[in-house]
Amino acid sequence: MTKQLTLHTHATAAGAVIELAGELDHNTAPDVRAALPDLELRVGQQLVLDLAGLTFCDSSGITVLIAARNHALAAGATIALAAVPDRVSRIFRIVGLEHVFPTHPTAQDAEAAWPPTTG
């Protein structure tokens, strides 16, 4: 069975970006989880998950997004989601995760919003 997910990472001044495209489900979520320890995240940086290419996300996918958040927080970094598809946004609203993940229209917008302003 072929996995229907591509994962690309790159670094920006704000921190690491993971671009996900395809189906994030019980078959592919372990690939995302396995990529987390290899990310270069420093205190104060931001991990951006760019979901523009995501076509499907099940509960396993949501779980790995939470794992990515936990990984970022453990490194002293923050996390943001970019280009969240409507169907995923809807699931986040239903389960109350829209308050857990800051979201931006694009990965570039997420980088522009970093660092968070302190008042």
Q: Which residue has the tokens 């302190």?
A: 118
What distance in Å separates the CA atoms of residue 1 and residue 110, rounded to the nearest whole number?
A: 35
Q: What digits encode the pLDDT tens for the residues 11-63?
A: 998 999 999 999 999 999 999 999 999 998 999 999 999 999 999 999 999 99
Domains of the chain: 5-112 (3.30.750.24)
Proportion of the chain above pLDDT 70, given as a percent: 94
Tokens at 102, concatenated: 């800051």
- Residue 2 is predicted with a pLDDT of 54
Query: Which element (helix H / strand E) includes 17?
Result: strand 16-24
What distance in Å separates the CA atoms of residue 38 and residue 48, rounded to the nearest whole number?
A: 15
